[in-house]
Amino acid sequence: MFTNHAAKKLFKQVEKIRCASSSGARPDGVLDNLDIPTPASLPVLGTRLDIWKAGSSKKLHEYIDGRHKELGPIYRESLGPVTGIFVADPEAIRSIFSQEGKYPVHIVPEAWVLFNKEYDYSRGLFFMDGPEWLTHRTKMNKLLLKGDLNWMEECCNIIIDDFINQLNGNLNEEVKNLDEMLYRTFLNVLIGLLLGSKGYKKHAELVKSSVKNLTRDIGKVFETTVKLQMLHANWAFKLGLPQWNRFEESMRTALTSTYILIEDIEKKCEDESSLLMKMRNEDMSDDCIKAIVGDLILAAADTTAYTMQWMLYSVARNMDVQDKIRSELSNPDSTYTKYVLKETLRLYPVAPFLTRFLPHESVIAGYRVPKNSLIVMSIYTTGREEKYFKDAGKFVPERWDRGSDMQATAQASLPFAVGARSCIGRKLAEYELQKMLTEIVKNFRLKLSNTEEIQMVMKMVAVPSPSIRLKLDKI
């Protein structure tokens, strides 16, 4: 017979073995994928009610941030048609990028993939994978990320000067349709790069006319895509739901308008310094150029325009930041506007999540993750975490100065991502955003007209709601 002491000891040993077995712990201390924390959910509905209570897909970044506060820096959850492992830890994020492989893969909206497949549309770098992606990405890296980029700057400067002239028509009053003005301007920059500075000067009025209609068409694509995000796009397509029909119509219209514009640019392009000519010189086929350029036009201006809105919002609220930008205008080595941009992107990343499907089984934040799992990096959360940024809720550009006593963990704010599949337009975006901010602050004193609180909401990208309203006083 067991004594009470022996029985208790045996029970503890059995319980220890049972817990270790159920937890999936391995001799190396790495936990199993099934042990990744998950939120409580309902049968069939999952966590949809929680998401709805939090503000639905418009407030997804805040919902995910709340889950990290509840469950920790790594957790798993199904959102609509996809299940993701959410990560909000800089070291783990660095590990993810180091394990992304030769051909990094990210998530693409299900509706866009289905549309391309059903109607046989070839699309650009955003949709490409494997060797095809690497071949074309390598060529585009050479054109947009490496070497002398002065050819970009010349065209940007022409278009930004034109934008400043437009703002001069809004002196001492609220700028009308600022969001639309910014979007058109950055779309003009992209088209200007394709034509070259000489070609843009020659055909500027025609370009502006085309951009006006295209702005409307692209806006509808994003608007209708958002309404499909929490649905299974495949079901919506098969059932012929109104959400799918509206999306399909908007995508067809936008692609048609974009391809007509590209054909027009090809006919008018004569400048050897233009992006279009540079792509041709890389032995890229006409079909490939059309696909890559089409996606750049559809996606690039949107993210840049909203980042500019967030930057103007931040600067208008902080008069000391405006004054410091002006005080350093005469210093060619000043890095302050760069810090302003970095701080804006830390607090208001237009893409609050970065995604990867890792090509092999990996260890992430102490958990063994099966290959091809969707990893979602929550950079909205890491960018606002007090552990990585002192006074994280405050807009303090100086924190990015290496000599600052303000903590700034660079790996916790990666708005352009890192690695082989980082943002192809990073250098262009950094230049045009900093150049535009400098020119605006040099010419005007900015005041925020909004009296209500500005919310960050998701519409494919993170946008201010309501729109930013500015009043300009000439300096």
- What angle do helix axes 336-347 and 319-327 make, rounded to 10 degrees? 150
Cβ neighbours of residue 219 under 8 Å, at least 6 residues apart?
none
**CA dist list (Å): 330 to 154, 323, 438, 442, 443:** 20, 13, 11, 11, 14
| Alpha-carbon torsion, ordered 250, 253, 215, 145, to 10 deg | 100
423 is in an annotated binding site: yes
Residue 204 contacts residue 184 (beta carbons within 8 Å): no
> In b/e form, how buried is each residue of 129-162, taking b as 16+ CB within 10 angstroms?
eeeebbebbebbeebbbeeeeebbeebbbbbbee
Bridge partners, 83 (sequence order): 78
* Spatial separation of the C-alpha atoms in residues 265 and 260, rounded to whole Å: 9
How many Cβ atoms are within 10 Å of 102's Cβ, its own excluded?
9
| Alpha-carbon torsion, ordered 149, 151, 155, 156, to 10 deg | 10
Bridge partners, 175 (sequence order): none
Amino acid at 222: F
Pairing between β-strand 367-369 and β-strand 374-378 as defined by DSSP bridges: unpaired
How many Cβ atoms are within 10 Å of 69's Cβ, its own excluded?
11
Residue 362 contacts residue 392 (beta carbons within 8 Å): no
The three-point CA angle 336-417-113 to 5° equals 135
* Spatial separation of the C-alpha atoms in residues 24 and 31, rounded to whole Å: 6
Q: Which residues are annotated as a binding site?
A: 423
Q: Which residues are annotated as a binding site for heme?
A: 423
